[in-house]
Structure 1
Amino acid sequence: MDGIQMRLRKIFRQETGRSLIVAVDHGMALGPMTGLVDIKETIERLDATGLVDTWLLTKGVFKYAFNPRGCPGTLLRISGGATIAGPELTREGLTGTVEEGLALGVDGVAVSAFVGSPYEHETLINLAAVASQCRRWNMPLLGVVGVGKINEDKKQDPRFIALGARVAAEHGADLVKTYYTEKDFDRVVAGCPVPVLIAGGPKCETDLDTLKMVHGAIQGGARGIVMGRNIWQSPHPEALLTAVDGIIHRNMDVQEAFVELLREKQN
């Protein structure tokens, strides 16, 4: 067993081969948004459930706000450099290195690539360059597939999403985070040679909608989720986390998970 396999064992729960990843890296571009104003409190609150397999976070949060009770998996976001105050969120560059991740003791690094955006070329080149660094150090790379505002409508086009997932893998990603499509998501997974995890995307209208999305993705072959605002912006984040865990790791259907959610809300 080499280093990359050891690290992947931290990211994915061994009993199921799946992962419940909570993303708290949004502040790098969006600032102190609802649910992450007091990011340390949010992390502590969700960590207390014992259900988060892996965290996706930035180096600033890792250093100043991350103090888990146990030893969960960690993914360090090392691309960024654009905010909602600027002209283009897809204009990301590299903001960290694999060596920096090694020094922090993380289990993988994450880099965005914006397929079909004006910065497609630059972000894919960055992804490929980091993949080469990751090979040297046996560090897993999560390719975070984005589309940019001009392609918002394509988030539900399985052919376009399949393109992005495959492109990220071809450029060296060991894992791919991409959007869930209600139609033909199994084809997205089939066309990607590395594990696919779904992004939470925009906030769902209800917790039930979140459960339906997670269940559909797992049934379509996803190996888990990388979800942020649909968890920590929920009125009952701990209860929702328990229900999502039921789908991912206990093979619950939507109705069973919803009953679990209602039960946990009352506790």
Structure 2
Amino acid sequence: MAYAGKLLRLSRFRYRGSQRGLIVPIDHGLTLGPVDGLVSVARIGAWLTHHGVTGIIAHKGLIERLASRNMLGRLGVMMHLNGMSSLASKPDTKQLLTRVDTAVRLGVDGVSVQLNYDGDNDPHNMQLLGAVVDEAQRFGLPVLTMLYDKVESADPRARIARLRHLMRISIELGSDALKLAAPSNPDELPLILDGLCEDIPIFFAGGSLSSDEQLLSMTRLAATHGASGLCMGRNVFQRESADLLLDRLSRILRGRRHETAPVALVDELDVA
């Protein structure tokens, strides 16, 4: 029964009739403070109801405030369980800040954790993820792991192999979905996804503010090679108006034929 519950709850983060979705994380405030776009709950409402957004990820306090204003509506909601301020001496070691049973009381559809691997905190990260998965399993809640490798490598093959190892660890410990940073070299994206996207839904982050065409091109490539969508924050909530971009991204992720065409052709079709 718990397995059926996880499948049902994960489906709330996807478009109807599709295996893909566009989730907007808004957990940045705990790490970075009142960043542009997340200074107040009211400003979040500018994009929250857009049909292209399938879900959000937020800390418990923000979820309560959004719910109290009836702003969550049809969205899938994940509660983020861990974090650390950028003011701390070890900001990459994210501590558990709340529990899965709190997420259950809030009525959310899933929980998430962020694991930044810096080369020294592997035991902490693996123990945290294992414990969260065990607790979430009791309630039939899916766990999304935001996975970031902070160990730099000049060798692309070694860097990709290391990331894929960390992805495999998350699968072995029971994660139900992954969020990854999009590679700076798009050619690496199929190598990262190869095989692993058959075992777990993989969403890509948008990173820092990018042009529409950069995001559209990355999304087409990711969707073509088996990704489950986007988990993108700043490229939504820090845009003056995200409506057009969300329209186009959602067409790609829903699988509409003309949005999976090459960039130049898509532009011609959009103008027509």
TM-score (norm 2): 0.86
Deviations 1:37-71 (A, max 9, x none): 22x23331112322211111111110123432622
> Are 1:76 and 2:93 an aligned pair?
no
Change (3 A) 1:176 1:118: same
> Are 1:111 and 2:113 an aligned pair?
yes
Q: Which residue of 2 aligns with 1:52?
A: 53
Q: Which residue of 2 aligns with 1:128?
A: 130
Alignment match of 2:169 (pick from 167, 170, 174) = 167
Change (3 A) 1:130 1:71: same
Give the partner amino acid of 2:201: P
Structure with greater contact order relative to length (CA < 8 Å, sep ≥ 6): 2
- Higher mean alpha-carbon deviation, 226-235 vs 42-51, is at 42-51
Counterpart-to-counterpart distance in 2, 1:143 and 1:51: 22
Q: Which residue of 2 aligns with 1:208?
A: 213
Give the partner amino acid of 1:185: L
Give the partner amino acid of 1:115: Y
- Higher mean alpha-carbon deviation, 129-138 vs 233-242, is at 233-242
RMSD: 2.5
Q: Which residue of 2 aligns with 1:229?
A: 234
Deviations 1:181-206 (A, max 9, x none): 312423322342211111222332x2
Give the partner amino acid of 1:3: G
Counterpart-to-counterpart distance in 2, 1:85 and 1:216: 36
- Percent same amino acid among aligned pairs? 25
Unaligned 5+ runs, structure 2: none
Change (3 A) 1:261 1:43: farther
Give the partner amino acid of 1:190: D
Counterpart-to-counterpart distance in 2, 1:158 and 1:8: 27
For the residue of structure 2 that corresponds to 1:211, the secondary structure is helix
Aligned residues: 259
Change (3 A) 1:133 1:243: same
Deviations 1:8-65 (A, max 9, x none): 1212223111111011111110111112222x23331112322211111111110123
Counterpart-to-counterpart distance in 2, 1:236 and 1:155: 36
Alignment match of 2:252 (pick from 227, 247, 251) = 247
Change (3 A) 1:165 1:34: same
Q: Displacement of 1:155 after TM fit?
A: 9.0
Give the partner amino acid of 1:186: P
Q: Is the contact made by 2:59 and 2:80 (CA closer than 8 Å) also made in structure 1? A: yes
Counterpart-to-counterpart distance in 2, 1:241 and 1:164: 30
Change (3 A) 1:155 1:103: farther
Counterpart-to-counterpart distance in 2, 1:155 and 1:35: 34
Q: Which residue of 2 aligns with 1:14?
A: 16
Q: Displacement of 1:152 after TM fit?
A: 8.0
Q: Displacement of 1:242 after TM fit?
A: 1.2
